[in-house]
């Protein structure tokens, strides 16, 4: 019996593993890397580069998935909400928003792909939240064992909020697509 349902699911698992690996790598690389950068302008340039890549991903999604005007308006609204939230957060929190949003959407897409191939784990959004939240808890709990890192339950709550926001946005877009198709 095959564990994976399709080649696409395999690719999604690889992408998710890379994202989670990147999240966990920041546990060890975060402080020394930021100390090397030092200059806030350089840090801002890296952050803006990351935001530019997210914008590019949204544009590519719009070009290749033909989401319709309503979905594009919703995507732009969601992007605006994220941007406004970014203005209020520090560099670390901004990084968490990007990392955990991408990771949650990857997990959701894996579960959605499995459902398309007859291996549904329902409700998909709830399972995507639970799996992503568990990864966030592991990430934060690892900090108990790493020198110069601090376990902070508030980070767990923040990660949960970010995961919820990303999945709620995805769920909203899916609901509108479903309503348009019906």
Q: Where are the domains of the chain?
A: 40-181
Residue, of 68 and 16, whose pLDDT is higher: 16
Residue 135 pLDDT exceeds 90: yes
Structure confidence at residue 58 as a pLDDT band (50, 70, 90) = low
Q: What is the mean pLDDT of residues 28-43?
A: 67
Q: What is the mean pLDDT of residues 7-30?
A: 88
Q: How far apart are CA 14 and CA 24, in angstroms?
A: 15
Instruction: Give per-residue pLDDT as tens, 76-127.
Output: 777 777 777 766 767 677 778 888 988 999 999 999 999 999 888 889 999 9
Q: How far apart are CA 163 and CA 161, in angstroms?
A: 5
pTM of the complete model:
0.81
Q: CB–CB of 90/126 below 8 Å?
A: no
């Amino acid at each position: 019996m095959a564990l994976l349902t399709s080649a696409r699911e395999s690719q999604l698992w690889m992408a998710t593993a890379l994202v989670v690996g990147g999240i966990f790598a920041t546990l060890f690389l975060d402080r020394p890397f930021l100390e090397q950068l030092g200059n806030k302008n350089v840090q801002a340039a890296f952050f803006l580069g990351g935001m530019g890549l997210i914008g590019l991903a949204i544009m590519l999604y719009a070009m290749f998935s033909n989401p319709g005007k309503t979905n594009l308006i919703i995507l732009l609204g969601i992007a605006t909400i994220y941007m406004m939230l970014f203005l209020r957060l520090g560099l670390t929190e901004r990084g968490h928003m990007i990392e955990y949003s991408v990771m949650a959407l990857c997990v959701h897409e894996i579960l959605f792909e499995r459902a398309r191939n007859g291996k549904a784990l329902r409700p998909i959004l709830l399972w995507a939240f639970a799996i992503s939240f568990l990864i966030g808890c592991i990430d934060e709990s690892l900090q108990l064992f790493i020198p110069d890192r601090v376990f902070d339950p508030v980070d767990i709550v923040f990660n949960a909020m970010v995961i919820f926001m990303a999945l709620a946005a995805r769920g909203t877009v899916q609901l509108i697509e479903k309503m348009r198709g019906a």
